[in-house]
Structure 1
Amino acid sequence: MVEPTVTLNQGTLRGSTATDLRGNPFLKFQGIPYAKPPLGELRFKAPVAPEPWTGVFDATKEGEVCYHRDPLKRGAISGGENCLFLNVFTKKLPADQNKALRPVMFWIHGGALIFGSGNGDMYGPEFLMTEDIVLVTINYRLGILGFVSFEDPSLEIPGNAGFKDQVMALQWVQTNISKFGGDPNNVTIFGESAGGISVHLLVLSPMAKGLFHKAIAQSGCALNPGVEASTGCTVLATTMGLDGADEKTIYNTLMGKQVEEIFEIQEKMLKDVVPCQRRPLGCVVEKNSPNPFLDDEPRTIMKTGRFNKVPFMLGFTTGEGMLFDLFGGGVSDCESVIPWYFGYEHGQPDTKIVGEQIKRFYFGDEDLSPTTKAQKYDMLSDAHFIYGMYVTILTQYSKSDAPTYLYRMSVESELNILKKVLKIEVPGVCHIDDIGYLFKTFITPEIKSGTIEETSVNRFVKLWTNFAKFGNPTPNKKDSLLTTVWKPVTNENLDFLDIGRLLVARRNPYADRMKFWKNLFALSPGGQKKSK
């Protein structure tokens, strides 16, 4: 087969071909630069538009990923600084760019903003390409490289560079995706974990306005406790042994280091971060930036309705908290799971009292032990993921004319990748396990005809691509695969779809648990402050 080529303003690309889950062909264009390499004076700064190339660009292989350590691959370190690449997958190139353009699905990978990439080892396109869409997957800068911030305006590093990379990639899509058969007026952003957080932040970002038309946030939102970071670089300075130094000195010191040295500083800095502290790296509000990614607190933006009002899907797995087994268990006491925005200080008497309340609610008279793993997972799920999503849905749905959909994933099969790796035997669906139903991963087993694995993949792909096509995941009531109508949220009795071995319409997920956290926040220093 002749290798496919596409000519953009940047130059001509040569791609390759592959086959989807059902054996049908599609085209791949990989490792496309969507920004200028963020090297030298561009390190830490907002991305700059890419430069053109001469000749034919080889888009048959993936680009370099951002330097990181991957806990899913036994802590292997890979990548570099020149990592701003994306991949495009399409069934066919258009004969006429003004006709029959297809919906675009733009994937943002997870990894706590410190690891991962958009490449095919974790996000193979073979499942989604069974539907008539154009798929884009991206890399963005991670850790210190993507999320350091300085308050000194002369340095021009207010933060959020990794999120601005995502915006730059979306701008690239607007300019170029029609050449691949994609519709720039029908772009759905979707992502999981830190990718889901990124999706929600893009919904809240004035910088991203008009660059997408639908959004799916999987297992992550802007109100999760690991999102917002402290501004400036106080923690970074302490880690580097530069307490009291001005920001220019800290910046110049960083600029003199190799990427490997910066990564060592990052790992040391993040080692002892707990949930009731703001992260030193993450999303920051840019108060004095002329073109901010985020101009106010996420909760305030939602309450005032100043967000991008597009059809929005948000959801979680039944056992999100199982993720923390990947990092050694994630909790030594119940006090340590209190989100920072509740306003408590770790180790103080009032914090210990709240920790005891949490312990009684989830464990009763029992202690954290191997026999109370299920309760521990519920507690971690709620504190780190589900409560933030609950507040997001309640705060946001009534402020938008576009529909809001909520789901819970409960299906368990051989495709639940992380739970399988962690060898967890407690019932529930681990964080990340939804990935295995949308993408082919490096540990995906053979999917056999007629199995729950095949049925579930087909359902997930259909629900997600229906949403991308129509803004409604179940538009056809006669679809034999999707036998249940997924209702949008229209009031505080939260309608949601339980995606298990069957599709079941339900209301008010984990109502008692959400009421507990709602009341806990209302009585907290942070809740009292927000209510004024």
Structure 2
Amino acid sequence: MTTDARRTAGDGLVVDTASGPVRGVDDGNVKVWKGIRFAAPPAGELRWRPPEPPQRWTEPMDASRVGPVCPQPTDPRIPIDLGAPQGDDCLSLNVWAASGIEPGADKPVLVWVHGGAYVLGSSAQPLYHGRALARDGDAVIVTVNYRLGALGFLDLSAFDDTFATNLGLRDVLAALQWVRENIAGFGGDPDRVTVFGESAGAGIITTLLASPAAAGLFGAAIAQSSPATSIYDRERSRRVAALFADRLGLQPGETDRLATAPTSALLAASKHVFDNIPVRTPGTLAFAPIIDEDVVPAHPVQLARDGRTHPVPLIIGTNKHEAALFRWMKSPLMPITPKAIRAMFAEIAAEQPDLRLPDEQQIRAAYRGRGKTIGMGVARDIGFRMPSVWFAEGHREVAPVYLYRFDFATPMLRMLRLGAAHATELPYVWGNLVAGPKDPTFKLGGLKAGKAVSARMRRRWLNFAVDGTPAGSSGDPVWRPYRAGDRATLIIDAQDRVVDDLDADLRSAWGDQVLSFR
């Protein structure tokens, strides 16, 4: 389609939202509306407050470009393309729909919550471009921004009880409310919304599954590599806030400075605390959802085990070699070394003396044959696999759960000793397999197999959005719900297969108690 033709098509793509009309663009296959505000810019007096509705506009807003990325520190070890410059006016979302979908078409909706350890990432990342998922017209795709780092997850209530908690979570809730009120105009069904996300985004999803504030905002969920147990109580969150205030040079009674402090100073303090916390206390994050007895009433995994999560179908799973990415980046976010692992267990034992920690011999037996890489297995399972299994064990009592493990890796990733590392499933879910001519992922081959893996994953994810059942195509193995009798698990690889009780040894070693920091 020529530029002039695209512009002409775009001129008719006006959708009226609750805040004002937006004009998207159509490439002949997929329509897209980008950078739609769902909340006012969280700046000045709104910086540490819950999201508020944006100021209404009357003329059609140009929705052909993504909005600003939420402020975040950059890290040369993580050279991701955020897709846009940073800025305060960042609470926006993007919508994709096949060209033939009209308002009122009642298509299922998939709402993406990006990952990034609660400190980085955006809805505008090219990896999350929704064209491939939306192209066949099976669902409307939405990607959302939320506040990050200290700006989204710092608990300042000890300094002043007027400061709101869990701002990043509240942003996602506001985006989901926007979807409920507006998505019909884009062809989506507000009563068939599936939230999906990875890493921190998946952690937000497992947290919202246990949040009363999320009731009725989604009818299904997909959690990819959720750090479901990385949720902390007020005591820990206030210690983090004290470190942040100290780094910022904030004195008692100076909380008014937080509204006017330069964003750059806040990001510098945020990065210092983020880097420092997992070194001081291996296995913990500086910024994460907290139990505020408001948005988050208690530990989500415990609420799942108590049968108190929202009764919606859930896909949940992890990657086979989660920890390999953190080893490759030399990141302290996961405790991989024996010293870090011992420190983590010692801290948990000190916090919770009545908690029965797993027996060292059982742990070694579960990881027999791993040699020097035992730490990689322990880090993977305490950080991602066991929290996902623990959550699945509880949530299956209130709704169908489908457990998976992603094992596929290209020859290049295997050569680099990354394998199916953390986040490597993302291009397959989105159908965005090749990032450009210099993309090394498929340099040694694997693209044909990768395209087949991607097609199967997208079909299952989209079918799940339709009716809560992740059916594949004809000939694909039937992915059964995760039940006590067989604990069926889908292994996603060059050839998918369903295995009964894949994690039996791990469950035996780690036990039924939920191991986490408070």
Q: TM-score range by the shorter chain?
A: 0.7 to 0.9
CA shift at 1:387, angstroms?
A: 1.2
Secondary structure at 1:9 match in 2: coil
Q: Does 1:489 align with 2:482?
A: yes
Q: Does 1:384 align with 2:383?
A: yes
Between Structure 1 and Structure 2, how many residues are aligned? 493
The 2-side partners of 1:261 and 1:171 are apart by: 32
Name 1:38's counterpart in structure 2: 42
CA shift at 1:78, angstroms?
A: 5.1
**Letter of the aligned partner of 1:300 in structure 2?**
Q
Deviations 1:272-318 (Å, cap 9, x if unpaired)? 2235565442111123xxxx211122233223322211001101111
Instruction: Select 2:426's aligned residue among 432, 435, 440.
Output: 435
Cα distance change, pair 366–435 in 1 and its aligned pair in 2 (3 A): closer
Tell me how large the CA RMSD over aligned residues is: 3.6
Name 1:169's counterpart in structure 2: 175
Q: Does structure 2 conserve the Cα–Cα contact (< 8 Å) formed by 1:108 and 1:138?
A: yes
**Letter of the aligned partner of 1:90 in structure 2?**
A
Structure 1 portions without partners, runs of 5+: 19-23
Name 2:22's counterpart in structure 1: 13
Q: Does structure 2 conserve the Cα–Cα contact (< 8 Å) formed by 1:228 and 1:278?
A: no
Instruction: Select 1:262's aligned residue among 266, 289, 302.
Output: 266
Cα distance change, pair 322–53 in 1 and its aligned pair in 2 (3 A): same
Cα distance change, pair 16–326 in 1 and its aligned pair in 2 (3 A): farther
* Pairs within 5 Å for 1:99-498: 100-131=105-136, 132-152=138-158, 155-223=161-229, 225=230, 230=235, 232-241=237-246, 248-249=253-254, 251-274=255-278, 276=282, 278-287=284-293, 292-328=294-330, 330=332, 331=335, 333-337=337-341, 343-345=348-350, 360-361=364-365, 372-373=372-373, 375-398=374-397, 400=398, 402-413=399-410, 419=413, 424-425=416-417, 428-439=419-430, 440=432, 443=435, 451-474=448-471, 479-480=473-474, 482-491=475-484, 493-498=486-491
CA shift at 1:327, angstroms?
A: 3.4
Q: Does structure 1 conserve the Cα–Cα contact (< 8 Å) formed by 2:403 and 2:488?
A: yes
Secondary structure at 1:395 match in 2: helix
Deviations 1:369-407 (Å, cap 9, x if unpaired)? xxx34x343222112111111111112212x0x211101
Deviations 1:63-90 (Å, cap 9, x if unpaired)? 0011122543179995122210100001
The 2-side partners of 1:437 and 1:32 are apart by: 26
Structure 2 portions without partners, runs of 5+: none
Cα distance change, pair 365–259 in 1 and its aligned pair in 2 (3 A): same
* Pairs within 5 Å for 1:37-116: 37-68=41-72, 69=74, 71-73=77-79, 79-92=86-99, 95=102, 97=104, 100-116=105-121
* Pairs within 5 Å for 1:16-27: 16-18=25-27, 25-27=29-31
**Letter of the aligned partner of 1:286 in structure 2?**
D
Cα distance change, pair 366–301 in 1 and its aligned pair in 2 (3 A): closer
Q: Does structure 1 conserve the Cα–Cα contact (< 8 Å) formed by 2:50 and 2:164?
A: no
The 2-side partners of 1:409 and 1:332 are apart by: 21
Secondary structure at 2:416 match in 1: coil
**Letter of the aligned partner of 2:329 in structure 1?**
F
CA shift at 1:127, angstroms?
A: 2.3
Cα distance change, pair 55–487 in 1 and its aligned pair in 2 (3 A): same
Cα distance change, pair 229–412 in 1 and its aligned pair in 2 (3 A): farther
Cα distance change, pair 190–517 in 1 and its aligned pair in 2 (3 A): same
Q: Does structure 2 conserve the Cα–Cα contact (< 8 Å) formed by 1:32 and 1:87?
A: yes
CA shift at 1:217, angstroms?
A: 0.3
Deviations 1:114-162 (Å, cap 9, x if unpaired)? 0000114221213212332100001100001001113359542241100
Q: Does structure 1 conserve the Cα–Cα contact (< 8 Å) formed by 2:358 and 2:509?
A: no
